[in-house]
Each structure stands twice: as structure tokens, then as C-alpha cells.
Amino acid sequence: MNEEQRAKIILRTLNKIYPKTPIPLKHRNIFTLLISVLLSAQCTDVNVNNVTKNIYPKYNRPEHFVKLGRKRIEKLIRSIGIFRVKAKSVYNLSKSLVEKYKGRVPKTFEQLEELPGVGHKTASVVMSQGFGYPAFPVDTHIHRLAQRWGLTSGKNVVQTEADLKRLFPRRYWNKLHLQIIYYGREYC
């Protein structure tokens, strides 16, 4: 069986198991989605949701986080791993959004990836889940499953993303990325 045939079977199977794919990170708007994705690095979505449920009702715009300042952001997210680094990124990201984009989250990969603390995966999640733009965010878990399933021999997430984009039609990317994450959490 070649990788195209495996990809079709995987897509069919995941569509049966996970017909609906809610976004696992709770958020109020695209800005809070961006912050949640940034906070989720080396941390579980459950932990991020537990912390942000007390933050987002009061602070949900870049201006709020600029006004808070880095030290107060640290106190709010203290229970999340590497909270000092993340607080600095949240503060600088918020400041950038206010200064360069009038407090709005930009709608291109390039502009998102220029923001402090935002890499390609974070930008891909925001483009996909926030703006509905076809993207295939690949994290370590998706990378490992794609290798295990024989869909890639990529040595890194960049190669794996390219392989998955080649194998699966663009219209499935946004949902499929979440389906693979759900599958990995449940079975691996």
C-alpha cells in the first residue's frame, strides 16, 4: 500500500471517529486564541484553559495586556510552564499589535510570524482556527503520528507539513489537523 492509499484510509477513519472537531483552546476572539496558542507551548490545553478562564472575562484585548505589564501578566499565568518567557512574549506581542496593527491580529502568515513569540505553528493555528484559512499546523504529536502511519519520513515538522499538504486535499487540512491531535491524545 502506498502513502496516498494510506492517507485515504486515515482520512476516512478519522472522519468516522471525529466527525466534529471543536477547537480545544477556549477563547473569546482571535486575539485570545493567539494568546492561548502561545501559552500552550510545552503545556496542555487543559492547563491553558484553566488559567485563561479567569483572565479572558476581564482581559481580552491587546490594550489590556499592555496596560497590565509583564510582571502582572506573569502573576496571572504563573501556573503555566516557562511563564516568565511567555509573559514577556504576551506583553511584547500585545504591544506590537497596538503599535503596528491598531490592536488587530494580522491576517497573513508573514505578519503573524513577525510578532514576538509567534512561530510558524502558532501562526498556522491562528490562520486555520481563527480565520478559517487552509493551514496544516504540525506539532511534535502530528509529526510522530505521520511518521508512524508512513505518511512522511521527514526529519522535522517542516518536512512533515509539506508531506501532509501534498497527501491531503487542501479542503481537509483545518479539520484533519485537529482530528490527528484528538486521535493522538486518545490512542497514543
| CA terminus-to-terminus distance, the chain | 23
Sorted by sequence, the CB contacts under 8 Å of residue 143 that are 6+ apart come out as 152, 154, 156, 157, 160
Angle formed by the axes of helices 30-39 and 45-52, nearest 10° = 130
Phi, psi of 12 (to 5 degrees): -60, -45
Q: Hey, is 177 helix, strand or coil?
A: helix
- In 102-137, which ranges are continuous DSSP H helix? 109-113, 120-125
CA dihedral (66, 98, 110, 48) in degrees, to 10, reads 30
Residue among 8, 75, 100, 139 flagged as catalytic: 139
Q: Would you call 139 a catalytic residue per the annotation?
A: yes
Residue among 45, 86, 102, 121 flagged as catalytic: 121
Catalytic (active-site) positions: 121, 139
